[in-house]
Structure 1
Amino acid sequence: MFLTERQKRILLAIVRKYMDDGEPVSSGFVTSQLGNDLSSATIRNEMAELSSMGYLQQPHVSAGRVPTVLAYHMYISAFLVEATRQRMFTGPMDLPLQYESLPRLFDGVATAVSDRTKKVSFVLSPPMNSVTLRHISLVPFSETVLMLVFITDRENVEGYKLLAPADTTEQELADINAIFARELRGKSLEEGIHTLRFGNMLPQDLALRYEGVLDAVAQLMEGELRKGESQIFVRGIEQMLSDLPDDQVGAFSTLSTFLSREEVVKPYLNSLSDRGEISLFIGEENQREELRSFSLVSVSYSLDSNQRGVLGLVGPIRMNYIRAITVLESFAGYLGRVSGSG
């Protein structure tokens, strides 16, 4: 539906006011904001017209107007370019460009987004199955125990204790570690597991003596591979709950239960990464019943290997969407930059 410039000005004033305090907006308030250019009668007539067009609704006969989903979308469209321009000013300037591990990076971003927006934030990590081995070795821990150390391009992993064969010698370990370096370094975890199980990389005498060790190493690497599946990091539930009106506490309890069910949430959020850079669902637009009392905003991000994840937040329907989009796009850019330097 076509809006005149005058109607846009009135509607934007109402949306901003309602996002600020959540109270129905009267024609008197709009007149106080735009009265130098428009008469009170004109403003009342335009508000009535905006209501008939579906942009405003009136909760009670004597109340002011509140914006509808249609009004929020108009507001977002009007200011999305401004949000893109503002992104550089709301970026995560206080977060480091180095990180100990990807899980800590994602958790830190989820926490920072929640702190900045006072909403429930989430980060869905991309699958990290294509992890590359940088180093793998066996070192003596005691007479009967070996320590497996392997380092990947994503995270250091060490401290796995394995039972040593009887009478293990330093020369045997040196030979095995040299073969590990030659056959496994630079391979993905999947390739490394396959080589350990089917590659016949050790001489027969060592293969027989260290069969149990090799099997244990392969199992540990399979465990690391499973850790590479998508993970979800949710923060800010308690913070947002403390700011909600009483009539939304029940709906929020349903929402928090939904967010705790990873087997349901992860496929849903994964579907958002295919929708484009920004996904926005306001109230009843949400596909999940548990989300329909709230709004969900998400953006896709890419790591250095072009693996895609999802970063987003859930908040009240009257949230400041431009602020939300600006913050999310800033942190999506941060994830792309920092993953290349971590």
Structure 2
Amino acid sequence: MELSDRKKKILQAIIDDYIVSAEPVGSSHILQKYDLGVSSATIRNEMAALEEAGYLEKTHTSSGRVPSYLGYRVYVDQLMKEYRLSIGEINQITSALHKKYIELRRTIENISEIMSVLTDYATIYTTPVSSSLTLNNIKLIPVDNRSFVVIAVVDSGNVKNCTVRTVREYDINVLEKLSNYLNHRFSGASTDKFTPEILEREKELIPVDEMLINPVFDFLCDISGEENDVDLILGGTSNIFKHPEFNNIDRTKEFFNFLKKDNSQMIKSLLSETGDSTSVIIGNENPVLKDKDISLIVSNYSLGGNMKGKLAIIGPTRMDYAKVISTLDYLTGCINELMGDDEGGKNID
């Protein structure tokens, strides 16, 4: 059904009002509050048509209407007005970002908290991961003359290691020279450069027994192939009690069951399916949210280079979509600017 301009104005007025009041909206209320230039009878007829077309729903306890999932979708895609953050909200976000610049994880936690405070909804974020790690440092440490430990420090301070046992004794001085060479050669390099082909060429430049170099290069290849583990962090879940949808104990239980740890992988998958731009998932549009009366708005943040994560707001479908989207976009833009979203990495090929 193609909506006329009048139907769009009435639908927008109903959803705007319902987002604020959480009460079913009647035609007389629309007539009194909004200057639409039509009679009460016309509004009633248009609301009935919108209901029949699936944009509105009628509750059992009131003669008023509430938006359906389809109504919210049209609202988000076509009708809602841009929400402009106030100076106070911008200052709140900016202050939070600058205070927590040094502590990387705490910065994102603080941003999530500010997001929850500003929107009155729950937040979900994933810790930043990199599609390609950067090798900050590599060392070969002798244990005895038949074994040594390889230690690699990658970006964000992650430490990876392995123990190598050799088939015969080796010269510890040779191991030390190899350690210094590898650290000089590979420090600052992106791990996606550690392919068998590139490392095979490197071996030709290093006059060292393959007994030493092969296991080290195998280790570097393993690092290159690793997937980063994403942590899922929740915040502001108590905010749901501010919304009348969750006055019902069964609905509240369902919400918290959805967010429980057992479902973390499912939620991670849902977040990962969203694109590079801000995504809005409304209720039954995704099977994961089916029959839960929940909407999810997801944005992306970057900490520079390949380090990226997801920041999301979850709440009732009766959500202030315009405000949440604007706040999310502003927040993630601030993070990207503050942390420096540029591509880096030493070239070793």
The normalised TM-score by structure 1 is 0.72
* Structure 2 residue aligned with 1:284: 284
| 1:215–1:190 Cα change, 3 Å | farther
* Structure 2 residue aligned with 1:156: 157
The C-alpha deviation readout for 1:232-271, integer Å capped at 9, x for no partner, is 43322632343332241132133113x6434333333222
Secondary structure of the 1:95 match is helix
* Structure 2 residue aligned with 1:240: 239
> In 1, Cα distance between the equivalents of 2:131 and 2:34?
57
Give how far 1:43 is off: 3.3
Q: Match for 1:271 among 273, 282, 306?
A: 273
Give how far 1:88 is off: 9.1
Q: Counterpart of 1:298 in structure 2: which amino acid?
A: V
Secondary structure of the 1:110 match is helix
Number of residues of Structure 1 aligned to a counterpart in Structure 2: 329
| 1:334–1:108 Cα change, 3 Å | same
Q: Which runs of 5+ in 1 are unaligned?
A: 141-145
> In 2, Cα distance between the equivalents of 1:87 and 1:131?
38
Q: Which runs of 5+ in 2 are unaligned?
A: 143-147, 343-349
Give how far 1:221 is off: 9.6
Q: How does 1:50-199 map to 2 (within 5 A)?
A: 50-60=50-60, 62-78=62-78, 82-83=82-83, 86=85, 91=90, 92-93=93-94, 94-96=96-98, 98-101=101-104, 103-124=105-126, 127-137=129-139, 151-152=153-154, 154-157=155-158, 175-189=177-191, 191=193
> In 1, Cα distance between the equivalents of 2:306 and 2:224?
21
> In 2, Cα distance between the equivalents of 1:230 and 1:88?
37
Give how far 1:39 is off: 3.9
Q: Counterpart of 1:26 in structure 2: which amino acid?
A: G
Secondary structure of the 1:113 match is helix
Q: Is the Cα contact below 8 Å between 1:285 and 1:292 reproduced in 2?
A: no
Give how far 1:223 is off: 7.1
> In 2, Cα distance between the equivalents of 1:66 and 1:295?
16
Q: Is the Cα contact below 8 Å between 1:110 and 1:234 reproduced in 2?
A: no
> In 2, Cα distance between the equivalents of 1:108 and 1:162?
39
Q: Counterpart of 2:135 in structure 1: which amino acid?
A: L
Give how far 1:58 is off: 1.5
The normalised TM-score by structure 2 is 0.71
The C-alpha deviation readout for 1:137-172, integer Å capped at 9, x for no partner, is 4689xxxxx9987554x3235698989xx9x98x77
| 1:224–1:315 Cα change, 3 Å | farther
> In 2, Cα distance between the equivalents of 1:87 and 1:176?
58
> In 2, Cα distance between the equivalents of 1:221 and 1:303?
25
| 1:339–1:147 Cα change, 3 Å | farther
* Structure 1 residue aligned with 2:347: none
Instruction: Note the aligned Cα RMSD (angstroms).
Output: 4.5
> In 1, Cα distance between the equivalents of 2:238 and 2:68?
26
> In 1, Cα distance between the equivalents of 2:133 and 2:279?
29
The C-alpha deviation readout for 1:15-59, integer Å capped at 9, x for no partner, is 122112321122332232136944434433333333333322211
